[in-house]
């Protein structure tokens, strides 16, 4: 415990200037294409949680940042239940539970794909962003490489229609 622990890649997985991280947990997630992704949940001393993914191709990138507690304070406890898909955290005075597979915040197909969240994909049948765990490639769309939203059905692209010119038949 006296020496530094270096990543197996030989370089940091995620670099963030002016951030003082306090806790980290990592989940292995299988995407629709069968690839494994390391999703990191990292807390800092001001009570924020960062959800980041590490890919050998493009390194680490932050998917989202969440303020878990109303009053910013250091997170002292961070625990992940991969089986239940839940993240538990606590400060000295508060406790929070968060679903790691909550894809509902992505309200359009474009938002869902651009986020490049390994937990989420666009459900073609239901027309919403949902967890990909146990889903098939037939019912879901996911693009973690570049977040290309052109894969989206035209009715769910979140593109404003021009109603002055009717579509051609």
What span, in angstroms and rounded, lies between the C-alpha atoms of 118 and 140? 12
With bands split at pLDDT 50, 70 and 90, how would you rate the model's confidence at 150? Answer: very high
Domains of the chain: 21-99 (no CATH), 109-154 (3.30.1680.10)
Those residues with Cβ within 8 angstroms of residue 154's Cβ, 6 or more apart along the chain or in another chain: none
Q: Write the pLDDT tens digit of every residue in 24-75.
A: 999 999 999 888 899 999 998 778 899 999 876 667 888 999 888 888 888 8
CA separation, residue 77 to residues 10, 44, 65, 96 (Å): 28, 11, 17, 10
Which residue in 159, 118, 158, 125 sits closest to 142, CA to CA? 118
CA separation, residue 119 to residues 30, 144, 154, 169 (Å): 8, 10, 23, 39
Cβ atoms within 10 Å, residue 54: 17
What span, in angstroms and rounded, lies between the C-alpha atoms of 50 and 42? 5
Total residues found in the chain within this entry:
169
> According to the per-residue pLDDT averaged within each range, which of 37-51, 97-111, 155-169 is highest?
97-111
């Amino acid at each position: 415990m006296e020496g530094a622990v270096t990543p197996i890649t030989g370089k940091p997985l995620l670099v963030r200037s002016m951030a003082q991280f306090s806790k980290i947990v990592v989940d292995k997630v299988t995407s629709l294409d069968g690839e494994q992704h390391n999703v990191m949940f990292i807390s800092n001393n001001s009570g924020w949680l960062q959800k980041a993914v590490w890919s050998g191709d493009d390194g680490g990138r932050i998917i989202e940042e969440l303020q878990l507690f109303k009053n910013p304070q250091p997170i002292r406890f961070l625990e992940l239940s991969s089986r239940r898909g839940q993240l538990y955290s606590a400060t000295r005075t508060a406790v929070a539970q968060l679903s790691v597979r909550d894809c509902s915040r992505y309200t359009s197909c474009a938002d869902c794909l651009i986020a490049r969240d390994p937990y989420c994909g666009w459900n073609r049948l239901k027309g919403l962003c949902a967890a990909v765990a146990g889903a098939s490639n037939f019912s879901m769309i996911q693009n973690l490489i570049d977040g290309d939203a052109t894969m989206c059905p035209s009715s769910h692209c979140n593109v404003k229609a021009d109603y002055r010119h009717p579509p051609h038949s």
